[in-house]
Structure 1
């Protein structure tokens, strides 16, 4: 399992539309093969910045999602709202305390 973290920065006027798109698509994204968790965070100090956290069983699962019609649709609709280049990291979880 690994974690995918994506930083998205939006023009403020487009945030409601982004949130609407995410709300409509989140269950489909989460249901993608190999996705075991999907979370959306908003920065406390800069509300234009969001982060998605998703957990994937295998890198090939994420790659298959990224090649899917679902991803292409969501990405096409949201990337026009960015005010900065998105950043993404794939990381291995080392420690988790709950």
Structure 2
């Protein structure tokens, strides 16, 4: 599984337009092959900063979405509302065991 976080800073006057765009497309994104989860977060200290948090079966599934007609419509429209460049990164659950100060697994 791949977890994708995209942090986006919007011009304050564009927030309602972004929210309309997100709500109009979120169900379509959730139904893309390989998408297992999608939600929208808002920064608690900066009202114009939002993050999408999505889970994908694989990097290939995410890339297939990024090549889709849906992404080709949603992303350019979203980018037009930005006040700053987005920050996007992919992560996965860590499988490293925790070690104590002696280097022994716990």
- Number of matched residues? 95
If you compute each CA radius of gyration, which structure gives the higher value, 1 or 2? 2
Other-structure match for 1:40:
40
Other-structure match for 2:51:
51
Per-residue deviation at 1:66? 0.3
Greater than 3 Å deviation, 4+ residue runs: none
Which fold has the larger relative contact order, with Cα–Cα distance below 8 Å and residues 6 or more apart in sequence? 1
Structure 2: how far apart are the matches of 1:5 and 1:93?
13
User: Match of 2:80, SS?
Assistant: helix
Once superposed, what is the RMSD of the aligned Cα atoms?
A: 1.0
- Written as runs of structure 1 = structure 2, the 5 A alignment for 1:1-98 is 1-94=1-94
Per-residue deviation at 1:31? 0.4
- TM-score under structure 1 normalisation? 0.94
Any stretches of 5+ residues in structure 1 without a counterpart?
A: none
Any stretches of 5+ residues in structure 2 without a counterpart?
A: 96-106
- TM-score under structure 2 normalisation? 0.87
